Amino acid sequence: MSSDDAERERRRRTRNIAMLIVLLGLAALFFAITLVKLTKI
Amino acid sequence: MSRAAGIDLADEAERSSLSASSSGEQETELRDWIALLKPRVMSLVVFTGMIGLVIAPGHLNPVLGFTAVLCIAVAAGACGAINMWYDRDIDAVMRRTRNRPIPAGRIPAPAALGYGIVLAAGSVLIMGIATNLTAAAVLALSIFFYVVIYTMWLKRRTPQNIVIGGAAGAFPAVVGWAAVTGSISLVPLILFAIVFFWTPPHFWALALWANDDYRRAGVPMLPVTAGARETRRQILLYTVVLVPVSLIPWAIGFSGRIYAVTALLLGIGFLVHAWLIVRDRQDMTGVSLTNDAPAKAAFKFSIVYLFVLFAALPIDRLIG
């Protein structure tokens, strides 16, 4: 693997990890909102 | 610059983006996607939104409060991304903006637009689910105002772009308030007015020294259309109006002495900066002979001004 390919791979991995964090964060946020709303009822 | 005139530059930027990605020379970095959100602008928007939320009467569950602030931040970021998509042609010719992800060819323009639309829709939707329809509606209105009224309509057509478009940046405090109360009353409208009158002197101070950039890009900022001398006068006029407006929360009894003294001292400071801009050494045409040093100082001070003024509101209510 050339250094360019390695660099591209690194950037892609960083983006994928960021996307995973965003999705997990959203899932946690929706879960928390649901809990708060249910507690209110 | 009209869109037609600027389209060649935009096409050029997109072409370079395509060639860059096909050759593998440039791969989008995570920080480019973050840069599309204009994080520095976002910080001020988030702060004013948070203050609106904190000083509003009533209680909001911390989770929902956090969500509301997050939605305000994401909506502001979405506006930034759509703004960068629309302004990619003029960004490409301005020194200050030509290294942004789209004109630099690191992010394709359609991807930036899609990113902005998804974030904008998501932030409004989640705001509605987490808090109430009023907050979601005002948030949607603020996005519409920034993207359509300011970016697409006013920015390239009138030197009053900043005055009217400045309203877009004044919405977050109202959104924060509405998230807690579900309604809009006099106080959030006063906060709106403060940011509204603060925006022109803040931006025109920047425009004074970025004049060449705006002229090259054909953006009719006041220094370009009316000249530096008139812009300096307008900065002073708006600052003169801003000071009494900033004292209204105290005048109507919403805030106490701590806020009043803070607002007064900050106002005097801003007036001094505005006066120094007017008195700046300049040639016959109004061009600064000091490299616009007073305008640069006023621009920096204006940011501190808004942060401290808004921070004084909850502090005053807490210990006043």
Reported as a single tens digit per residue, the pLDDT across B88-127 is: 999 998 888 889 999 999 999 999 999 999 999 999 999 9
Task: Please check whether residue A7 touches B, CB under 8 A.
Answer: yes
pLDDT at B13: 39
Q: How far is B29 from chain A (nearest CA, A)?
A: 6
A10 touches B: beta carbon within 8 Å? no
Q: In this predicted structure, what is the pLDDT of residue B12?
A: 39
> Does residue B65 contact residue B140 with C-beta atoms inside 8 Å?
no
Res B213: pLDDT = 80
The pLDDT assigned to B5 comes to 40
What's the Rg (C-alpha) of chain A?
A: 18
Q: Which one of A5, A9, A15, A39 makes the best mutation probe of the B interface by having the most chain B beta carbons within 10 Å?
A: A15
Sign of CA dihedral B167, B37, B83, B144: negative
pLDDT confidence tier of residue B9, bands split at 50, 70 and 90: very low
pLDDT given for residue A41 in this prediction: 57
**Could you give the CA distance from residue B152 to residue B280 in angstroms, rounded to a whole number?**
34
**Average confidence (pLDDT) over B160-189:** 92
**A1-28 tens-digit pLDDT:** 677 888 888 888 888 999 999 999 999 9
Say how far apart CA B22 and CA B275 lie, in whole Å: 53
Q: Which tokens in the block code for residue A8?
A: 């591209």
- In whole angstroms, give the CA distance from residue B1 to residue B174: 33
Residue B27 confidence (pLDDT): 58
Task: Look up residue B122 and give its two tokens.
Answer: 């998501």
Per the CB < 8 Å rule, is B27 touching A12?
yes
The token pair that represents B213 in the structure block: 């950039």
Nearest CA in chain B to A11: B29
pLDDT at position B289 is 87
Q: Which of B107, B115, B108 is nearest to B81 (CA)?
A: B115
Half-sphere exposure (Cβ direction) of A36: Cα atoms closer than 13 Å? 17
User: How high does pLDDT run on average in chain B?
Assistant: 89
Does pLDDT of B19 surpass 80? no
**Predicted structure pTM score:** 0.85
CB of A22 less than 8 A from some CB of B: no
Residue B88's pLDDT is 94
CA dist., res. B192 & res. B138, Å (int) = 12
